[in-house]
Structure 1
């Protein structure tokens, strides 16, 4: 639902660079080529308790391939400390988001795993494929981290600690995973999904060490997860330190507040989402890329950015 109404929705291009989504059970050729050209994909799965988790899978361009319009083969596997691993098995629902950050192009896909090969990868039988609006994506260029520390520090808590709070306060991007209302019914095409949210540094607020709050901006297309979160509030957030490769996984429950303060409304926010934390997992040196910051989305007022956050661009 774009703010400019149905006319722009009808003009939307299927590659997701403008306007609303067009859902399909087949991947158009440009989507198949798009995923094959990417060095990473954001993915979501659900653990044994049904909690959604979001994470990233990496590989040289070509690690994702599509031999058929309804198949996406992913030749990558999560690390043993990655919560995404909990939900990768034959028949499992998986959501995927391809993001070409330099061009701000993104495409989404979801479906069920048809063939899972532990430590190698999996084949996804596509049930939905669609492009997304490019609003609020910050432009970044991924580069291999040549001096990456092979040692990995892992921390798991039921609350945020100072290092987590600092990362969140500096973030201008996060990813959200959620379940559809019909996930339990394998006869229906819906399952898990994952999408991007963006804003100026500080747009995700730490309410307490157990709660976050973030805005639903006008035109940010949060209606897709919003409807499902009202039915099943379980969600997973993924926040990446694009500088040092730390990945923060958050699992919890979302609550929608329909009224926003006047100051927030002037910035384009139409709703607030409060996120109550159940589990926090911090994985250092988990991302093999560092991302050169190229610029904020033109839909954001860069002058309002928090200058204290510039070191994490």
Structure 2
């Protein structure tokens, strides 16, 4: 079992906590909760959580999640900082969601490293911890031993990413389907920043075009086909992809094909040639080249890692 422990603190944002709880609720994960002083923990939504475990629970955790840290200018106690550093030294993975990056930054473990947090908190985080490289655009950052997500909902993106890293794309896709969530979102936080900033793109959602393309990955789909499906010019399509997803139409389409390839390598015995045909990468040679560029490994090595073959 992989022990995941959420370190909560009053006032605790229940949504950020829920991101981790729902993703890591089933085996092979075992989800638990702890706090510095066990007892009632007040939430930002007005109800209390009853937490029975103290900081010693962190000594047994494989992954520790900090689901927010409010108010953001609050100094953590020496006991909390020492507990996180101790867990990190023995190999536990530390994860922050949204404002939780402030607590991880206070441990010094993010010095000289890139970190994600909510774009509203980025300037203050950078001011307080100048040795940290704050990225207010990305959905999440994963260094392996330490990972961080941007705004509240990106906690789900990061947790699904960690499941994908731990157990493979197929398992992560099943968790995402259970949650009625995409297993992977493209783009960054810019697309969600504010109602005022999104006013110009209201009613121009790419959802229908993306769904149409994902259902036809095995076909030859061009940017012209996507533009036609969206009833816009290729130039307008590219602008909308940039605004809403942060990537070009071609980059998005290739990412979907690579994601489908990973699932097929993990869960089927199909040959590389057959998989290439199913995901629209035309040939085994093209699939191998694209796969190596995206994941820095070969399809056969990837399959052996997940199937033991």
TM band (smaller chain) = under 0.3
Q: Where is the strand percentage greater, Structure 1 or Structure 2? A: 1
- Work out which structure has the larger RCO, using CA pairs closer than 8 Å and 6 or more positions apart in sequence: 1
Structure with greater helix percent: 2
* Structure exhibiting the larger radius of gyration computed from Cα positions: 2
Q: TM-score, normalised by structure 1?
A: 0.22
